[in-house]
Homo-oligomer: A and B are copies of this chain.
Amino acid sequence: MASTEIELRGHIIDSFILPRVWGAIEEAGAHFHVREMRIGQSETETSYARIEVSAESQQMLDDLIPELQRLGADLAEVQNARTALVTQPGVLPDDFYSTSNLPTEVRVEWLPVANIEMDVAIVIDRDAKSAHTTPMHEAQVGDAVVVGYEGVRVEAQERPRQREAFGFMQSPVSSERAKALAIREVAAAMIAARRRGGKILWVLGPAIVHTAARGSVAELIRRGYVQVIFGGNAIVAHDVEAAMFGTSLGVDLKTGEPVEHGHRNHLRAINKVRSLGSLEAAHAAGLLGDGIVAASQEHGVDLVLAGSIRDDGPMPSVITDSVAAQGRMREAARGVEVAIMAASMLHAIATGNLLPASVRTVVVDINPAVVTKLADRGSAQVMGLVTDVELFLSALVDELPVS
């Protein structure tokens, strides 16, 4: 039998921390014994519990404890974090600690872990007294990577007392709820973020252009509510196609009708920009009209385009190497306070994996499966909206003054 003691503090009952910790212990086939407990007597008082966790084997315990840490448990005995050195580039020590996207500290003295994101490793720089995350493929020989779980502290998110739109995700705002309210709350969060100087990130899928909603996005850029855009080859190809030919994937945006020669238009648009060498040159040549790319260039939006295997062309500026693209997205995500993922699946999932839990994230899609899939990926501060992206964007513009 192996055992250790954990502690829980705060609103551990109405935040579901205590029942989840107990449940996790039972499901693992381990056992607990309450050593000490003080329960808050009313909704304003916090509680405290010290619990012994025992398991049949050390391995079982070693697997269980990091799970409990994510749920809000701390080890009762304060220890320093253990580290092991990277010996092969891009390969972590076997027993590396795999992060959550919650605020995390590691102990030499307690150090906050910089740039937290999900499923990466923690490197401690003992000289600089700092710690930061590193994705597996960036691990360098000599990095001191945290192993085991001792000396790691995770700040689980408590359920906020005050209900708010960006509460703990329970289930998405379905198409059967009133969306007008939700749109107003998204607008309020965007205004607040801009007042604090926080960045707003948009992840955009190509349906934005097909639905003639590119005007709404361009307007949001001009009003100051877009600092970073993540997208792929398609959104840019169709934005340029719309500017050059008035179509998107060959559909006339004024009449909604397919035009005969239209399936070629996005290829022509890509080919033209390739011949000029860059999207900047295309703008200088007057080809981009007043679309998303044009507005991005005029207002200094950081437009990060990540390629995929289904791309035609691709457009200049599209990063074809997926590891390099992830790297650029990581950089651009620093300082983001609000993220809005609209009509995007691949890029939205990739982005969700990179963002800390504290970023207020809105997922908008007409397909409930997409919203659920994205909202489920670990971030607690997600609002899912099952609605029509075109009409959503148009209604959102109406709620936002020039910032």
Contacts and interface: CB of A to CB of B under 8 A. Distances in A.
A39 B43 contact: no
A182 interface: yes
Contact of A309 (B13, B326, B394): B326
Nearest to A66: B261
A141 interface: no
B260 A211 contact: no
A274 B261 CA distance: 48
Q: Determine which residue in A98, A177, A213, A326 has the highest number of CB atoms from chain B within 10 A of its CB, and name it.
A: A177
Contact of A350 (B13, B274, B308): B308
Given A119-B312, A177-B211, A322-B307, A91 B42 contact: no
B267 A136 contact: yes
B308 A391 contact: no
A159 to B, nearest CB: 8
A111 interface: no
Give the copy number: 4
Contacts of A387: 366, 388, 390-391
Contacts of A42: 31-34
A211 B66 contact: no
A297 to B, nearest CB: 21
Interface in A111-146: 119, 135-137
A285 B64 CA distance: 28
Interface string A295-329: 00000000000111111111000001111111001
A323 B312 contact: no
A83 interface: no
A4 interface: no
Interface in A377-399: 386-392, 394-395
Given A22-B43, A63-B259, A137-B314, 14 more contacts: A13-B13, A14-B23, A26-B43, A67-B260, A88-B275, A119-B267, A178-B256, A179-B390, A181-B255, A310-B350, A310-B353, A320-B322, A391-B392, A391-B395
Interface of A: 13-16, 18-19, 22-28, 31-34, 37, 39-43, 63-64, 66-67, 88, 90-92, 94, 96, 98, 119, 135-137, 159, 161, 163, 173, 175-182, 207, 210-213, 251, 253-257, 259-261, 263-264, 267-268, 270-272, 274-275, 306-314, 320-326, 329, 345-347, 349-350, 353, 366-369, 386-392, 394-395
